[in-house]
Amino acid sequence: MSVYVQAKLSTWWTILRIALEERLVYRGDFALGTLMRFLPIITQIFLWSAIFAAVNVGSGGDQKIAGFYTIHTMIAYYLLTMVSRAFSSMPGLASGVALQVRNGEIKKFLIQPVDMVGFLLMGRIAHKLAYYSVALLPFALVFYLCGGYFSHHYAAPGVGAPSAQRISVFISSLLLGFMLGYFLELCIGLISFWFLEVTSLIFVYNLLTFFLSGHMFPLDLLPDSARAIVDWMPLRYLAYFPAAVLLGRVGEDQLWTELLLEAGWVLFFIVLSRWMFSRGVKRYSGYGG
pLDDT in tens, 215-236: 888 998 888 888 889 988 999 9
Is there a domain that residue 133 lies in?
Answer: yes
> What's the structural domain count of the chain?
1
For residue 250, give the amino acid letter: V
241-277 per-position pLDDT tens digit: 999 999 988 888 899 999 999 999 999 999 999 999 9
Mean per-residue pLDDT, 173-190: 95
Q: How confident is the model at residue 30 (pLDDT cuts 50, 70, 90)?
A: low
Is pLDDT at 280 greater than 70 in this prediction? yes
Is there a domain that residue 70 lies in?
Answer: yes
Q: Which domain holds residue 205?
A: 3-283
Is there a domain that residue 232 lies in?
Answer: yes
Is there a domain that residue 165 lies in?
Answer: yes
Is there a domain that residue 289 lies in?
Answer: no
Q: How confident is the model at residue 180 (pLDDT cuts 50, 70, 90)?
A: very high
Is there a domain that residue 194 lies in?
Answer: yes
pLDDT of res. 108: 82
Is there a domain that residue 221 lies in?
Answer: yes
Full-model pTM: 0.86
Mean per-residue pLDDT, 204-210: 90
Q: How confident is the model at residue 1 (pLDDT cuts 50, 70, 90)?
A: low
28 vs 80: which has the higher pLDDT: 80
285 vs 126: which has the higher pLDDT: 126
